[in-house]
Amino acid sequence: MSSATKPVQIKPDWRNPIHLLAFGFGSGAASFAPGTWGTVAALLPYYFLQDLSLLPYLAVIVISFLAGIYICGQTSKDLKVHDHGGIVWDEFVGLWITLMAVPTGWHWVALGFVLFRIFDIAKPWPIRWADRQVSGGFGIMLDDVLAGIYAWIVLQLIILMF
């Protein structure tokens, strides 16, 4: 295919705060494993969120999810690509769900990180269904929220065992 017939790939506008958030402050622009790098970037805000009690923490998740529907949906429209790989705001919210009510200790955070990435990549039912069937900003957010819930359940079971 000649360059004249290739579709033009629109790049995020880094001056646009919506794109900046959607791309996880630039972490989603990584050429290799942008979802993983976006999840790494989500650890910095988590550091400040981890000391919140459960209700404020849940409020941050709900607000971030609702904002993410718009942020991810608008960026997807602007780039003319549904669920562009660089859109990682959904990874932020998914990881924060996974790490909800986790005991103090970076080993729990690391385990939560790994579990979230496993569920986000493997996409067991209904995550894969949501990823393929639900469109727009809600669809972009939903599969990572479900991956976060699955990872949270497994992590909480492991915490109970130890």
Q: Where are the domains of the chain?
A: 28-161
DSSP state of 52: S
Under the banding of pLDDT at 50, 70 and 90, the label for residue 157 is very high
CA 70 centroid distance within chain: 14
* Mean pLDDT computed over every residue of the chain: 94
Query: What is the structure's pLDDT at 82?
Result: 83
CA distances from residue 24 to 36, 40, 102, 109, 156 in whole angstroms, order as listed = 11, 10, 23, 19, 26
Give the burial class of 38: count Cβ atoms within 10 A of its Cβ; 0-12 exposed, 13-18 middle, 19 or more buried: buried
Query: Would you give the end-to-end CA distance of the chain in angstroms?
Result: 56
Query: What is the structure's pLDDT at 5?
Result: 56
Task: Give the residue ranges of DSSP H helices in 50-126.
Answer: 54-79, 89-98, 106-122
Q: Is 148 helix (H, G, I), strand (E, B) or coil?
A: helix
Q: Tokens at residue 63, please?
A: 């607000």
Under the banding of pLDDT at 50, 70 and 90, the label for residue 10 is confident
DSSP state of 25: G
Of residues 89 and 9, which shows the higher confidence score?
A: 89
Mean pLDDT value of segment 51-59: 97
At 70-86, the pLDDT tens digits run: 999 999 999 999 889 99
Structure pTM?
0.93
- CA-wise closest residue to 38 among 68, 82, 70: 68
Sole residue written with tokens 């990584």: 30
